[in-house]
Chain A
Amino acid sequence: MNYFVNEKGYYGDFGGAYIPEMLYPNVEELRQNYLKIIEDAEFQKEFHALLKDYVGRPSPLYLAKRLSEKYNANIFLKREDLNHTGAHKINNTIGQILLAEKLGKKRIIAETGAGQHGVATATVCALRGLECVVYMGEIDIQRQAPNVARMKMLGAKVVSAVSGSKTLKDATNEAMRDWINNPVDTHYIIGSVVGPHPYPDMVSIFQSIISEETKKQLIEQTGNDQPDYVLACVGGGSNAMGMFYHFINDENVKLIAIEAGGKGVDTGFSAATTFLGKEGVLHGSRSILMQTADGQVVEPHSVSAGLDYPGIGPQHAHLFKTTRAEYVSITDDEALDAGLLCTQMEGIIPAIESAHALAHLEKMKFKGGENVVVCLSGRGDKDMDTYMKHFGF
């Protein structure tokens, strides 16, 4: 089974480039150049130097001793929360800003949900001196105020998306519109493994550093580069794809993707795409999305702004349909509890997104001795308000 993109831009039944003609030249320019640019030795050298000295990679693979005792398994946390800017998002933005420069672009646009991708984009634009515009849903702007301030301090213009649900989906629409209206000088840094081909492939390549490092670190720590389980949360799915990437063809490694169940999958307030969605087209690719029978996109809900998205990347849809990865869901409350537990047992405050992945450990049964890697995709500083309100600190 091929789990990766084919030459036409598809993962099995999913992927492609469903874009209006106005975007065709931009996307085609990327498609024709991205692999050539990324695989160039000079690019790789610059990319890895920045990952090492600017981002702070490799991020540690930490054996969480107390969580391991509690769950009767070796729980390893891949510490993407220790990256500069506090999440895995920077891996992708470093890659894309270098690529944008090679393409001669002068202006960068991005969309953001929780603000992590917006901050990561604003950061690399400051680093390279490029103009930066970040689209963010009006509601997300309110609930992620510190990240909005960070973006502004970094010199980015934050534009409020006021259409639809006023969250990530609408910020993505606005960013795509901006790109349509500015086709020549602008590069759109998409923050997840969504969008028209080649974005899902390109973003997963940049994020694959997560699983590349994990394999090396597992050999050092366990003598085997194949764990029993790999867990990661999924909104669009970029940290999960980075965490799964080098394990995808290791068929005995079980891949588990954790979606945001919101208030419960059946409550009408959920973002659990594989449970509630159907095949369709959103934001330029064929995937699985939450929609009405008439093909209108349904507003998702999650306590974590980063998982509040009605679709998943096309490669996830393929992994789901072929059952290569298992897709499960965790509610808002379960995630918040898992975030508190991790904080109090390991001294690590996780992003609520990552807490969804941690929460699934509660539902697993271990024999003892299994090696489990959980992608701790980001840190919880940005979520303190939500944690405080929920637990009354």
Chain B
Amino acid sequence: MNRINKIFKEKKNNILSIYYTAGYPGLGDTVAIAAALEKAGADMLEIGFPYSDPVADGPVIQASSKLSLDQGMDLNLLFEQLKELRKTVTIPVLLMGYVNPVLQYGVERFCKACAEAGVDGCIVPDLPMVEYEEFYKDVFLKYGLSNIFLVTPQTSVERIHKIDSLSNGFIYLLSSSATTGQNLQVSDTTEAYFSRIADLKLNNPTMIGFGISSKETFDKACKYANGGIIGTAFVKAIAAGNLEDNIKAFMTKFTS
């Protein structure tokens, strides 16, 4: 069983997923961050592979991607690091990035490399659902990879059901229509949106992301979904200082 399916089967609630950018703050930090996060209680990892023109990201994650690229990160190096990472890390690992680097690497070659490196799923926000269904779904399935789709407050119910039918891991609920790094404001409207999704009784579990930066916002996310994803707040927290201490201090806020 894919590690993503396994974690949702075993844990069901309060699943904590952390996003970080590969090769940031130091090019060689990818493995150490994963190990420290697992040790500190993270349930799942989303590792960003950097792209020069990340339109869905806010300034913090964009800057981390730029630094990583400037330091020499590329997909070949990342897959090497992931193989190293899998020697110790056992929680699910997802790769998150944009479609162009995947296309240049070659979709089949990319999926094969993911499988060989122990990656469990991918999040490619600008890969259209229709393209995935027509051209790439079989390749992803062949290598046992989950493809995670995003849902926003503007996504129609019909489309959410379609996404649910094409998903085999979890569905990524955006707290609002926004780039990364905005604060989660749980208003009546968002609450209604989250409840609406919960009422749809989807086949796949859900995770809420974008805007979760504190224990309070994480708890709110867990009220409506199986868990929450933290990205920008974590990337900010590890920007400077001792990596291991920063990670421990950051994670304590969510796990204590």
Please list the residues of chain A having a beta carbon within 8 angstroms of any beta carbon in chain B.
16-22, 24-25, 163-164, 169, 173, 176-177, 180-181, 183-184, 278, 280-284, 291, 293-297
Complex Cα distance, B51 from A297, in Å, reads 8
B74 in contact with A18 (CB, 8 Å): no
- Is B5 part of the binding interface, using a Cβ–Cβ cutoff of 8 Å? no
A278 to B126 alpha-carbon distance, docked (Å): 19
Q: Chain B's nearest CB lies how many Å from the CB of A372?
A: 37
B246 adjacent to chain A (CB < 8 Å): no
Q: How far is the CA of A284 from the CA of B128 in the complex (A)?
A: 10
**B123-137 interface code vs A (CB 8 A; 1 in, 0 out):** 001111001000000
Task: A137 to B166: give the CA distance in the assembly, Å.
Answer: 39
Residue among A22, A181, A183, A278 with the highest chain B CB neighbour number at 10 A: A22
Sorted nearest first, the 6 A-B pairs with minimum C-beta distance are: A295-B104, A295-B101, A20-B125, A21-B150, A25-B154, A20-B56
Can you give 9 contacting A-B residue pairs, CB < 8 Å? A18-B99, A22-B56, A22-B154, A169-B53, A173-B53, A177-B56, A177-B58, A280-B100, A282-B53
Q: How far is the CA of A135 from the CA of B182 in the complex (A)?
A: 20
| Chain A nearest Cβ from B62, distance in angstroms | 6
Enumerate B40-94 residues with CB–CB distance to A below 8 Å. 51-56, 58-59, 62, 66, 69, 74-75
CB of A293 within 8 A of CB of B150, answer no
State the CA gap A186–B155 with chains docked (Å).
Answer: 17
Q: Judging by beta carbons under 8 Å apart, are B178 and A22 in contact?
A: yes
Q: Is the pair A181, B182 in contact by a Cβ cutoff of 8 Å?
A: yes
Q: Is the CB of A18 within 8 A of B128?
A: yes
Contact B131 A297 (CB under 8 A): no
Q: Is B32 at the interface (CB under 8 A from chain A)?
A: no
B155 near A21 with CB under 8 A, answer yes
A-chain residues with CB within 8 Å of residue B218 when the two chains form the complex: none
Looking at chain B, what size class is its interface with the partner chain?
Answer: 35 or more
Q: Decide if B141 is an interface residue (CB 8 Å cutoff).
A: no
Cβ 8 A contact of A297, one of B53, B56, B177, B182: B53
Q: Pick the contact of A296: B51, B128, B152 (CB < 8 A).
A: B51
Cα distance A296–B48 in the bound complex, in angstroms: 14
A180, B55: Cβ atoms closer than 8 Å: yes
Residues of B within 8 A of A21 (CB): 125, 149-152, 155, 174
Q: Which residues from chain A contact B126 at a C-beta distance below 8 Å?
A: 18-20, 281, 284
* Majority DSSP secondary structure for residues of B touching A: loop
Q: Least Cβ distance of A345 to chain B in Å?
A: 41
Instruction: Report the separation of the CA atoms of residues A19 and B100 in the bound assembly, to the nearest whole angstrom.
Output: 12
Asked whether any CB of chain A lies closer than 8 Å to the CB of B103, the reply is: yes
A281 to B178, CA, bound (A): 21
Are B177 and A180 within 8 A (Cβ)?
yes
Bound form: Cα–Cα A284–B126 in Å: 8
Considering the complex, give the chain B residue whose CB is closest to the CB of A170: B53
Q: Could you tell me the distance between the alpha carbons of A22 and B153 in the complex, rounded to whole angstroms?
A: 9
The verdict on B179 contacting chain A, using a C-beta distance below 8 Å, is: yes
Nearest CB of A to B248, in Å: 32
Chain A: which residue is nearest B55 at the CB level? A176
Within the complex, what minimum Cβ distance (angstroms) separates B178 from chain A?
A: 5
Contact B104 A293 (CB under 8 A): yes
In the complex, A281→B128 CA distance in Å? 12
Chain B, residues 157-180, CB within 8 Å of chain A (1/0): the string is: 001000000000000001001110
* Nearest opposing residue in chain A for B150, CB measure: A21
Having A16-B131, A20-B126, one finds 7 other A-B pairs with CB under 8 Å, namely A17-B128, A18-B99, A18-B127, A18-B131, A24-B152, A176-B55, A282-B53
- Give Cα distance in the complex from A271 to B110, angstroms: 29
CB distance from A121 to the nearest CB of B (A): 20
A233 nearest CB across to chain B (Å): 24
In the bound complex, do residue A16 and residue B155 qualify as a contact, i.e. CB atoms below 8 Å apart? no
> Given the complex, which residues of B lie within 8 Å of A25, measured CB to CB?
152, 154-156
> Given contacts A16-B128, A20-B126, A21-B125, is CB(A181)–CB(B179) below 8 Å?
yes
- Name the one of A164, A177, A281 contacting B103, with C-beta atoms under 8 angstroms: A281
Expressed in whole angstroms, the Cα–Cα distance for A293 and B100 within the complex equals 11
A176 CA / B54 CA spacing, docked (Å)? 10
- Whether A183 and B128, one on each chain, are in contact in the complex, defined by CB atoms closer than 8 angstroms, is no
Does the CB pair A20–B55 fall under 8 Å?
yes
